[in-house]
Structure formats: C-alpha cells, structure tokens
Structure 1
Amino acid sequence: MKKIIRVWDLPIRLFHWLLVLCIITSFITVKIGGNAMELHALSGYCILTLIIFRVFWGLIGSYHARFINFVPSPKRLLQYLTGKTSGGLGHNPLGALSVLALLGSVGVQAITGLFTNDDIAFEGPFAKYVSSGTVELLTSIHYFNEKILIAVIALHLCAIFYYQKFKGENLIKPMLLGDKEIDPSDEAKHLPADLGRASKDGGLQRGFALLLLGLIALILIYFIKR
C-alpha cells in the first residue's frame, strides 16, 4: 500500500498557480501594449505581492516550503550530482536552485517595473522618486531581464518534462493536490527525515497565510497609491 505524504500546503500551491497566471498575463499584456499596460501593471503588483509572500512563507511556512529545508549546501549539491544522496520529497537540490533563480528573476522584473518608463503609455509608480538616469537604468534592466526570465521558465518546463518522461516522476500532480505517493519499495530512496515530516496544512495555517498575503497586499497598495 502506498504511503501518502502532504508535501505542498495549499498556500504554496495557490502561490504557484497564481504566479503562473500572473506571469502569463504580464507577457501577453506587454506585447499588446496601449491600454493593456494598465492590466500589465496590475499583474506586476500581484506578482510582487506573491513574491514577498513566498519569501516570508519560505521562512515561517510549512516544512517543505521553508528555504532552510530545501536550499542545498554545496556539499549536498555535490552529493546529489554524484548520486550519493537522494533528492528528497520536496525540491531536489537542482530544483531548489531553479526555484531560487525563478523567484529572483521574477522579483527583479516586478521591482524594476515599479520604476520603468516607456515614454509612451506607462510610467511606474515609483519612477517619480528617482532620477531620470536611474529610471533609464532600471527600465533597461527590466527589458533585459525579460529574456533571462524566459530562459529560466523554459529550463523549468524542460525539467518538468525530463522528470516525467525519463524518471517517471510527475511533478505537476503534487503541486495540484499537495500529496506525493510513495511506494514502500521506494522508501529507501528518500531521506528518513523527509518521510517523517509531512507539511502542516490545516485551517489555522491557511488562515494565517491568507492574513499575511492580505497584509502584504495592503502595504504595497498604500505605497503604490501615495
């Protein structure tokens, strides 16, 4: 009988899929331009809210969501690459680096977007607080980082396909349902600490996550609307 372990709590799953939706919206609206830039800006604010939430949740959230439990040390990364240790139930060491790269690139894109000015249809809400030279620099970073972000997303999708096709591991289903099914014959492949540490995902934790997300959104709205 397979062992079922809650790996991704509901806040992490909602964060993931809302981020996907917002990124797609941002890419589409920036290509349309014109009046769609208002929706592009709104999508950017939502992305920044989500990224800030994920940083906090990476510090105080459930077991597998915490950075300390999945960001690898150089030693563990080397052991994983040489096949001396398993990847764990959550993000494996390479997956962890991919997540950090994605969060970093998306975060840079959202923050620089607050200062951008395309001289046509959009000016970021914080552009008025810095010099024109700084606006120009951050706008250039915003445009250049878009290419980096596309590359990071493509790598992320390729990794999902690789694990599904060649390792028989479905990475999408757990991010939808939250659970991973472990066959008893495969338990030896996983770290004992992982097998005994399911992520908490109760009503209290979900309510706290919603409160945290709402507080971040309100603070961000306050500064944007000033």
Structure 2
Amino acid sequence: MRDKVAIEVWDGWIRLFHWGLVAAVLVSFYTTKTSGAPFLFPVEVHAQAGYLVIGLLIFRWLWGALGSVYARFKTFLYPLGKTVAYSNTLLKRQPSAYASHNPLGGWMVVLMLLSLSFQAVSGLFLSDDIFFQAPLYGLFGDGVGSQLRALHQLNSDLLIILIGLHLAGLIVHRLLGESLLAAMFVGAKRFRQQPVDGRNEPLNTATLRIRALGTLLIAAGVVLWLWFY
C-alpha cells in the first residue's frame, strides 16, 4: 500500500540543530579518547565542541517554546498515563502514528537534552590540571569543582546509554515501517493514515523567521563569549 499522508514535520532549523549537535557531540567524545592527531590540543577542541553544544542547546530549548508546531515541547510531551499506554501498544507492535515525537520518544528527547545540558554546562567549571581551564573554573571552589568533575564523567556514561537507546528506537521504528532518520533529512514524514497529532500549520512564516533569528543571535552570543573568554 502506498503512503497517502505526507506531513512536513521538522523545520529546517530543527534539522540543522540535530545534525549540528550530532557533529559536535561526536567531536566531543572523540577528543576525550585521543591525545594527538589530528588535533594539536584535543582538550581545547573538546572544550570548543562543548561551547557549540551549549549554543545548540540554547537554541533548542528556546525553539521548543517559540518554534514551529512540531518543534514545541507542548506538542510532544504527554501525561504519564498516555505514555504508558503508548508503550504497551508499542510492545504489541500496534503503536499509533505520531507526526512529532511519540509519547515515549518525546520524554526520551527531553531526558537527552537535560543530560547534554548538564554535561556541557558542568564542563565550564573544569580543568585538566595541566594546560586548560574552562571559563568558569574555580568559580565555586575546589570542592564543588571536584564534585562536578565526577558528575561530568558519570553523566558521559549516561549519555552513551541514552544515545544507544535513541539508535535502538530508530531501528525499532524502521522495522515498524516508520523511517525517522529519513524525516530528519528531508523534514517530512509519510503515513498510511492521519497521525494522532497531525496538523496542517505552516512552518515557514515571517514570524518564525524573526523568532529563529532572535534565538540564533542569543545562542551565537553565548558561544562567542565562551569561545573568546
């Protein structure tokens, strides 16, 4: 049966955010595992990747309130009861179709954003005790700094688990006939029936462009301040 319903879900800003975040996180993880080429000072590159992550996350948190309909948190965050009910239908391989994130995926997105936010912000208070000190290193004293270092390392393990679950979710939905990865490239999803949260609100309006510009300026300002601090 051919797909009958095509809905533009992810606006260009969300797609740029997503793939920019993927790249920055990959660089961040890589520079924790290398001590040489291709980077002369991996710890500095690690920190710079973290600054970019902070900027991207600032954009996403703001865009979750001001952005296009499917980017807004209120669109894809559901009460516990609906989330549990959806999880049960997923286990039975009979999940309802959602244009935006489904109830389980929506909370996973927020959890990952929170974990990434803590990881990036906590890194601002750290030092490698040799060559590099982050912009806010020493602000709260050695005791708090030591605790943040430990939590930073623990949270990196949590992030690996969350990323693994995210990738597993992509595979599960692909097996169920929903290509989430393709949608994050082209912006549109195709359905055999109208999704539960299907809406026909336009994505590219003058108001959204103004909001996007303002949000980008805020995020870029923070990144530039951190980069040249």
**Contact 1:79/1:85 (8 A) holds in 2:** no
Tell me how large the CA RMSD over aligned residues is. 2.1
Report what 2:26 is aligned to.
24
Q: How does 1:38-77 map to 2 (within 5 A)?
A: 38-77=44-83
Counterpart Cα distance in 1 of 2:35 and 2:129: 12
Give the aligned residue type for 1:168.
G
Report what 2:112 is aligned to.
102
Q: Cα offset for 1:74?
A: 1.2
Does the C-alpha gap of structure 1 residues 224 and 138 become closer, same or farther in structure 2, counting only changes over 3 Å? Answer: farther
- TM-score when normalising by structure 1: 0.88
**Contact 1:117/1:136 (8 A) holds in 2:** no
Residue 146 (structure 1) aligned to one of 126, 140, 156: 156
Please say if 1:175 is aligned against 2:184: yes
Q: How does 1:75-224 map to 2 (within 5 A)?
A: 75-83=81-89, 86-165=96-175, 167-183=176-192, 186-187=193-194, 190-191=195-196, 194-198=197-201, 200-202=203-205, 205-206=208-209, 208-222=211-225
Deviations 1:154-196 (A, max 9, x none): 110011011112x02111011110011223xx23xx22xx333
Counterpart Cα distance in 2 of 1:74 and 1:219: 35
Counterpart Cα distance in 2 of 1:207 and 1:23: 28
Counterpart Cα distance in 1 of 2:130 and 2:202: 47
**Contact 1:10/1:206 (8 A) holds in 2:** no
Q: Report the 3-state secondary structure (helix = DSSP H, G, I; strand = E; otherwise coil) of the residue aligned with 2:138.
A: helix
Counterpart Cα distance in 2 of 1:82 and 1:129: 47
Q: Which sections of structure 2, spanning at least 5 residues, go unmatched?
A: none
95-104 or 73-82, which deviates more: 73-82
Counterpart Cα distance in 2 of 1:13 and 1:219: 21
Counterpart Cα distance in 1 of 2:179 and 2:81: 27
Deviations 1:59-94 (A, max 9, x none): 111111111110111121133234397252110011
Query: Counting helix residues as a fraction of each chain, which structure ranks higher?
Result: 1
Q: Cα offset for 1:205?
A: 2.4
Q: Cα offset for 1:199?
A: 5.2
Count of matched residue pairs = 219
Q: Cα offset for 1:224?
A: 6.2
Deviations 1:111-157 (A, max 9, x none): 01000122133221101322011111111111111100001001100
Q: Which sections of structure 1, spanning at least 5 residues, go unmatched?
A: none
Does the C-alpha gap of structure 1 residues 116 and 33 become closer, same or farther in structure 2, counting only changes over 3 Å? Answer: farther
Q: Report the 3-state secondary structure (helix = DSSP H, G, I; strand = E; otherwise coil) of the residue aligned with 2:32.
A: helix
Identity %: 35
